[in-house]
Amino acid sequence: MYCYINKEKETDRVIIFLHLPKSGGTTFNDIINQQRQYYPDLCMLGTCNNNGFYLHLDELSTEEQKRIEILFGHIFFGIHKQLPQPNFTYITFLRHPIERIISSYYFHREFPNTKDLFQSMTLYDYVTNPDWNYNLWLSTANLQTRMLAGKIEEDLETARNNLIRYFSVVGITERYDDSLKVCQKKLGWEINAYEKRHVVPNRPTLEEIPDEIIEIIKSKNEKDLVLYQFANQLLDKQIKSI
């Protein structure tokens, strides 16, 4: 993960972007980076290593942790418990589970660290092999529910309650611009034109995916499907409130 710290002073509130894999989060990371021009006191921490991961909180000094303004990355809900700031809010984007998993497969066929492995298997292999069910970031089974619940277990009720209680922005990938309008209102951010990142070119459309594979993904992601519909309802309410 990455974070922005305040170069001048300690903070009493942290914005946490919980990046669900293949949900438009890399594009949103760029939008976070846009904020540097409006908040010159922000300084970014986090560098890439060979595993593709970036920064752990315990790599920061106590003083640096006290100055965190924004924290973002592929993280499970609950990281706020490790922060010294008394106040926090989360942001996230959910994506339709079927689209998310298909996108994950085709993205990782091209991603340098994973392409050899993924090019050696079919989409059917990916969604039917139980070894992928609970893989940390490449999971094919209710990953969004588990990350938002902050648990390895698929606790739908906790995930829903967390979205209600702790998230100031619940975005939807398929409704990206509407979601950004909520961000602007809730966070007071200036959001300029943006470019979609990590879009897989020439990926088959949903209509081109065999029905058998679609049904397998549905059966393994029943809770994510319910959570996705719930998140859409929350976004509807957020839009009405601005």
> For 118-166, what is each residue's pLDDT tens digit?
999 999 999 999 999 988 789 999 999 999 999 989 999 999 999 999 9
The answer to whether 163 and 231 are in contact (CB under 8 A) is: yes
Beta-strand runs (E) in 99-227: 167-172
Does residue 52 register a pLDDT over 80? no
Q: How confident is the model at residue 46 (pLDDT cuts 50, 70, 90)?
A: low
73: domain CATH number? 3.40.50.300
pLDDT at 55: 56
pLDDT band, residue 47 (cuts 50/70/90): very low
Phi-psi region of 5 (alpha: psi -120 to 50; beta: other; left: phi over 0): beta
Range of the domain at 33: 2-241
Query: Is the pLDDT reported for residue 49 higher than 50?
Result: no
- The answer to whether the pTM exceeds 0.85 is yes
Look at the chain and report how many structural domains it folds into. 1
